[in-house]
């Protein structure tokens, strides 16, 4: 009896300490989205002076740095050194844990305000080098995008389904947000639509692929005259956006379309121009968009067109089984976590809506093993170049957008390209 009791006395304070440590880690995690810290932490100021502070001060010091960084230039200001995960594991409280020495590589890891690694290069981290370095070029690398993304953005959590299915109400991330960041207030209409479409995946063949290579084809004029069509057609999943045509541009943009992601104002208006065998994927930006979708799914006459900022398609010549609703989480994640647009209490506001292209890339990060993009980015130094590959509108026609923040969005896409998470086939990003 006695040994057990003294054991208990020894173990209890340890449990308490362990719990305190754990909860401070949680708090830290909650407040700053960083992994719990254990050892002395080096924080790097804007000037780049590293200083070492004792553990107790960690939370405060990080807070101070983050606070002061608000006055600095966005994007590159905040630097928080990421440390090892705690050596004391949460479940077992072993009495003699020898603190692990910080690995010199890890000490150099500095993250920006959003949580992206500051120093990006296309090199594979050692653990990925072991897994992928040995695969020959052109072989699909299973899990590559997830691994690469996590290495530059440790907060990344992969499983997010592409489309809404009948369990959508359980998706905690989005059930509290209004469109475009969630579906609140639209539950009934979505339920009705999903009960009719009855399909919530790609197709059996694509869903069963062990490794999926995806390409997102943007609409930029930068696609013109590069003859990338056959290269684009090699991908397993080819995503196109809004009304961007294929016919007449096959040489440059390819001929296949797995899905076309669309909002009402962007939908192809001429019913003859819809390609067969592609999914019509709906992305809602406003509550009334769902009403439009219901009318399209049920082939009703279009009613109540106020609230759209331009004319919308009157019919979508697709069977309900070929229609899907894109998970709105991708809009939310792209806006607030990846690009860092203003949260505005979770409501649509000035400059906080990501472009459909960024949303599609976000979807691909979660659902593809390899991701390429083409037709993204504008070269402002050539104002007379065409804005889109399919029309004559010049680049100079771009106006300051109220909804999007193109420059901030580009910062995000640059990170992905620079780190080699995605491949930019047209080098426009």
Q: Shortest distance, CB of residue 405 to ligand NAG, whole angstroms? A: 4
Q: Compare residues 293 and 335 and give the one whose CB is closer to ligand NAG.
A: 335
Q: Shortest distance, CB of residue 133 to ligand NAG, whole angstroms? A: 7
Binding site for ligand NAG (CB under 6 A): 74, 134, 221, 224-225, 350-351, 385-386, 405, 407-408
Output the CA angle 249-238-231, nearest 5 degrees: 60
Cα–Cα distance measured from residue 295 to residue 314, given in angstroms and rounded to the nearest whole number = 9
Q: Compare residues 348 and 385 and give the one whose CB is closer to ligand NAG.
A: 385
Q: Shortest distance, CB of residue 385 to ligand NAG, whole angstroms? A: 6
Q: Compare residues 341 and 360 and give the one whose CB is closer to ligand NAG.
A: 341
Q: Compare residues 93 and 226 and give the one whose CB is closer to ligand NAG.
A: 226
Q: Shortest distance, CB of residue 154 to ligand NAG, whole angstroms? A: 23
Q: Shortest distance, CB of residue 217 to ligand NAG, whole angstroms? A: 16
Which one, of 161, 165, 214, lies nearest residue 193 by Cα?
165
Question: Which residue number places its CB atom closest to ligand NAG?
Answer: 351
Let me know if 220 is exposed, middle or buried by CB neighbors in 10 A (0-12, 13-18, 19+). buried
Write phi, then psi, for 394 (nearest 5 degrees): -85, 160
Which residues lie across from 172 on neighbouring strands?
none
Q: Compare residues 128 and 160 and give the one whose CB is closer to ligand NAG.
A: 128
Buried b (16+ CB within 10 A) or exposed e, 250-285: eebbbebbbbbbbbbbbbbeeeeebeeebbbbbbbb
Q: Compare residues 250 and 385 and give the one whose CB is closer to ligand NAG.
A: 385
Distance of CA 400 to the CA centre of its chain: 24
* DSSP class per residue in 381-409: T-TTSBSBTTS--BGGG----SS--HHHH
Q: Shortest distance, CB of residue 137 to ligand NAG, whole angstroms? A: 12
Cα–Cα distance measured from residue 47 to residue 341, given in angstroms and rounded to the nearest whole number = 25
Q: Describe the crossing of helices 58-69 and 2-32 by its angle, rounded to 10 degrees.
A: 0
Q: Compare residues 85 and 125 and give the one whose CB is closer to ligand NAG.
A: 125
Q: Shortest distance, CB of residue 381 to ligand NAG, whole angstroms? A: 14
């Amino acid at each position: 009896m006695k040994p057990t009791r003294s054991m208990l006395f020894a173990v209890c304070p340890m449990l308490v300490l362990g719990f305190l440590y754990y909860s401070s880690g949680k708090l830290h995690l909650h407040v700053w989205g960083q992994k719990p810290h254990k050892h002395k932490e080096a924080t790097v100021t804007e000037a780049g002076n590293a200083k070492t502070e004792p553990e107790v001060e960690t939370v405060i010091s990080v807070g101070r740095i983050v606070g002061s960084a608000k006055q600095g230039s966005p994007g590159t200001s905040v630097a928080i050194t990421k440390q090892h995960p705690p050596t004391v594991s949460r479940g077992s409280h072993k009495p003699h844990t020898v603190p692990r020495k910080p690995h010199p590589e890890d000490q150099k890891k500095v993250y920006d305000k959003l949580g992206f690694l500051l120093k990006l290069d296309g090199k594979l981290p050692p653990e990925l080098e072991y897994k992928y370095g040995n695969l020959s070029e052109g072989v699909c690398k299973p899990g590559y995008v997830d691994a690469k993304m996590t290495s530059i953005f440790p907060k990344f959590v992969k499983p997010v389904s592409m489309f809404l299915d009948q369990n959508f109400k359980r998706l905690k991330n989005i059930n509290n947000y209004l469109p475009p960041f969630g579906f609140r207030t639209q539950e009934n209409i979505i339920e009705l639509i999903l009960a009719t479409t009855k399909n919530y995946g790609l197709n059996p063949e694509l869903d069963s692929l062990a490794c999926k290579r995806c390409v997102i084809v943007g609409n930029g004029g930068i696609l013109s005259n590069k003859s990338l069509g056959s290269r684009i057609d090699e991908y397993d999943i080819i995503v196109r956006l809004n009304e961007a045509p294929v016919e007449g541009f096959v040489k440059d943009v390819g001929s296949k379309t797995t899905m076309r992601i669309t909002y009402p104002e962007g939908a192809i208006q001429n019913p003859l121009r819809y390609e067969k065998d592609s999914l019509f994927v709906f992305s809602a930006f406003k509550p009334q968009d769902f009403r439009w979708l219901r009318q399209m799914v049920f082939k009703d006459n279009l009613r109540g067109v106020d609230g759209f900022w331009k004319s919308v398609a009157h019919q979508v010549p697709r069977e309900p089984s070929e229609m899907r609703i894109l998970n709105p989480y991708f809009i939310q994640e792209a806006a607030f976590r990846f690009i860092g647009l203003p949260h505005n209490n979770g409501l649509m506001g000035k400059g906080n809506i990501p472009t459909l292209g960024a949303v599609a890339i976000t979807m691909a990060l979660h659902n593809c093993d390899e991701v390429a993009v083409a037709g993204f980015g504008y070269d402002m130094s050539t104002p007379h170049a065409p804005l889109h590959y399919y029309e004559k509108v010049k680049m100079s026609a771009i106006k300051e957008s109220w909804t999007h923040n193109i420059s901030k969005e580009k910062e995000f896409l640059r990170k992905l390209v620079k780190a080699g998470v995605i491949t930019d086939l047209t080098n426009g990003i």
